[in-house]
Structure 1
Amino acid sequence: MRRCSVWVVGLCAIATCVLNADAGAFVDPLSLPSAPTDNLIHSRLMAVASSDQGLVAVGPLGHILVSGKLGQDWTQAPSPLSTDLVAVRFVGERKVWAVGHDGVILHSEDAGKTWSRQLDGNQVLEILRGQLKRLAPSTDADAMRTKGELERAIADGAAKPFFDIAFLNEKEGFAVGPFNLAFHTVDGGQHWQSISELTENPEGLHLYGLAVVADKLWLVGERGLVRCWDSTTSRFQRINTPYQGSYFGIVGDRSTLVAFGMRGQAVRSTDAGRTWSLVDTGSQAAIAAGTEMSDGRIVLVTLAGEVLVSRNQGASFKVQHLLEPMPWFSVAQAGPDSVALVGASGVRVESLL
């Protein structure tokens, strides 16, 4: 089996193995609610998202933190499981989705205060088995390749993670993960189905990031993979860019797209993804995440603890040095001139210069 990239190893490094203190027996993290934890704001967190209602941050052991929109006071929200969470997204002002290890998809209707489970690895396996059964009679090359992917995914068991989630609206959403794991819902997450055959990814590359930009859904992954969802054909379209390394995310607005990834690499498009040019980000480190501010500034963060800010729609970036940097995994707008950053040592709110 092909190994995950450095980014996936870093993202998935925390193994969730919970032991019962009295009996010494293994407890499935999918069945164990996340425990209340002191000083969680200074513990490792993996992702943060914001809306006008506030901010939500997620991390290992099912930890979820919520805050007001300026990110000054954080409280732990109850979580129905203790598996690692690695991504979180607002859809509108109050609906939130989070994903993580063990095929987990969680949902909140109240801006992150309470959560319910929509999917987990056991259910993912059942969905994949159903897809494999439907494809069984097919003998064309694409179907045979998809069947091979499904057989390998089923053999790996229920522990496979989702890396990211995004919704085009409150009903239609997508979740993606390693080895071409891709799921789709059209009813707000009540039901999910596998769409691995729709990603234009015959090599089974890892799918790292999703984003909705200007009402279009974008997908990025390893080896230069960039795709755009075509709602007319209900499948992803292949997009070519000048960088062939791993992309971890994409941000932008109606006039600009910026995809970013390994070694400080970023590419920019000003024509809805038809053509792309390389961008000098000023960094050599892996760019883990990005966000667009309400005034159009683009902010990227790196695993070297850098904050990269563009004031010209991603044409160039300047490094903002922080007094206490740490490896940053995610960023979201907190106030008009501030961002919430999460990383190896928790969550911080920093003003942009």
Structure 2
Amino acid sequence: MNRIFNLLTSALPLVIIGGLLYAGLFIKPQPQGAALARPVFERGDRFYGLAVEQDGRAWVVGSGGKIARTEDSGRSWRIQRSAVDVSLQDVAAWDGRHAVAVGNGGAVIVTDDGGMLWRGVEAPHNKIANKLMRVKALAGGQAWAVGEGGSVLRSTDFGSTWRQVGPEEDIAWNDISFHEKLGWMVGEYGRIRVSNDDGASWHEVKSPTKMSLMSVAFKDAENGVAVGLNGVILVSHDGGKTWTQERFVSPDQSPQTIQTDDRLEAGKVYERGRLEHLLDVIWDGERWVAVGSKGIVVIGSTDASEWKATRLSPDDRNWYTSIARSPTQYYLVGSRVVTTQEMKAL
């Protein structure tokens, strides 16, 4: 009996080792719990353009061809597969299904199913440069895109095909805007062009600045604003024929504390001067709103004669390249993506 016991005892380590080897070779562990989802917005992301619809849906586009979509007014976002890996500079939408995005290297991508599939399309390239900066979607499937190398592109079929309007030239056009058949373009060296025939022809008008203009918007056929580097603000009241320059003071000079809403926290008001770069401007239905570097948000009166500056929060030094307003809130994109319910008048 002792002999049998001794044999079993001596064999026990071999049995344990054999069992461990079998488990390691033939038994595959089953994962427990859900894998951590990759966040939509990651450290190092940069977003340059956005398109906002009236029903809570919006797109944002940016570095590495990244596209994000919300259908609930920014409460949640999901990544959409892009057809490119270059930085996308802007996106525009005709409706919830049709949209177009443009970017570096002359990239143009379109969707006709709400972004389930984005596909690349051919667009004219030039010999100087091919970075497309802005795209605007107009009624009837029309679109305009502008960029470096004098690129001025037009589409009439929801972005599927494009043609160059005008010659190649050594200038970057940074934005384009239309009101009915009137059009305006702004770009490097303060240059401004105007069209009164739906973009068929363009003529240059005198500009009071040599600073690069980054954005232009008109609220009607007569009244518009252009903004640019070094805090330049230009105002026109005659359809872009003539422009005058307005000023504001940096949020880092002569502050006065003001009351803002809960999302924006306390801000600061400043009245004259210019320091920060302004990269986008919109007419929000009530007033002008411009955004730019160092967290700057500049509010213009209805007639664009008075401009005051603040930040989303006192310590905000993010840069914002684009702003848009839906019926319920504002969207800002740049070094981060921000939504806010309201910006009270300064």
The 5-angstrom pairing of residues 166-205 of structure 1 reads: 166-197=136-167, 204-205=170-171
1:304 to 272, 289, 294: 294
- Give SS of 2:140's match: coil
Distance in 1, Cα, partners of 2:248 & 2:327: 24
Shift of 1:72: 2.2
Q: Distance in 2 between matches of 1:108 and 1:65?
A: 13
- Counterpart Cα distance in 1 of 2:68 and 2:46: 12
How far residue 92 of structure 1 moved from its aligned partner, in angstroms, is 4.7
Deviation at 1:181, TM superposition (A): 2.1
Q: Please tell me whether the aligned partners of residues 64 and 86 of structure 2 are also in contact (alpha carbons under 8 angstroms).
A: yes
Shift of 1:68: 3.0
For these two proteins, the number of residue pairs brought into alignment is 278
SS for the counterpart of 1:72 is: coil
Superposition pairs of residues 49-88 of structure 1, within 5 angstroms: 49-53=51-55, 54-68=57-71, 70-88=73-91
Conserved? CA contact 1:297–1:311, under 8 Å: yes
Name the Cα RMSD after superposition. Answer: 2.5
TM-score by length of 2: 0.73
Structure 1 regions of 5+ residues with no counterpart? 1-35, 126-149
Asked if 1:271 is matched to 2:238, the reply is yes
Equivalent of 2:46, from 44, 47, 57? 44
- Larger RCO (CA under 8 A, 6+ residues apart): 1
Distance in structure 2 (CA, Å) of the matches to 1:240 and 1:190: 35
Distance 1:277 1:113, change over 3 A: farther
What fraction of aligned residue pairs are identical, expressed as a percent? 21
Match status 1:253 vs 2:223: no
Q: Which runs of 5+ in 2 are unaligned?
A: 1-36, 250-273
Distance (whole Å) between structure 2 residues aligned to residue 291 and residue 330 of structure 1: 9
- Tell me the CA shift for residue 93 of structure 1: 5.3
Mapped contact 2:54–2:327 kept (Cα < 8 A): no
Q: For 2:198 and 2:182, how far apart are their aligned partners in 1?
A: 12
Say whether 1:237 aligns with 2:203: yes
When normalised by structure 1's length, the TM-score is: 0.71
Q: Who is 1:322 aligned against?
A: 312
Cα distance in 1 for residues equivalent to 2:103 and 2:303: 31
Separation of aligned partners in 1, 2:80 and 2:61: 10
Match of residue 220, structure 1, among 183, 186, 190: 186
Note if contact 1:55-1:334 (Cα within 8 Å) is conserved in structure 2: no
Is the Cα contact below 8 Å between 1:178 and 1:206 reproduced in 2? yes
**Contact 1:167/1:212 (CA < 8 Å) preserved in 2?**
no
SS at match of 2:230: helix
2:247 is matched with: 280
Q: Secondary structure at the match of 1:326?
A: coil
Task: Name the amino acid aligned to 2:90.
Answer: A
Per-residue deviation, residues 159-191 of structure 1 (Å, max 9, x unmatched): x32111123433332222112122222333232
Structure 2 CA distance for partners of 1:311 and 1:184, relative to 1, 3 Å: same
SS in 1 for 2:105: coil
Secondary structure at the counterpart of residue 223 of structure 1: helix
User: Counterpart of 1:174 in 2: which secondary structure?
Assistant: strand
Misfit runs of 4+, over 3 Å: 110-114
Correspondence for 2:283? 292
Paired residue type of 2:195: W
| Distance change (3 Å), C-alpha of 1:196 and 1:214 | closer
Residue 313 of structure 1 and its aligned partner are, at CA, apart by: 3.6
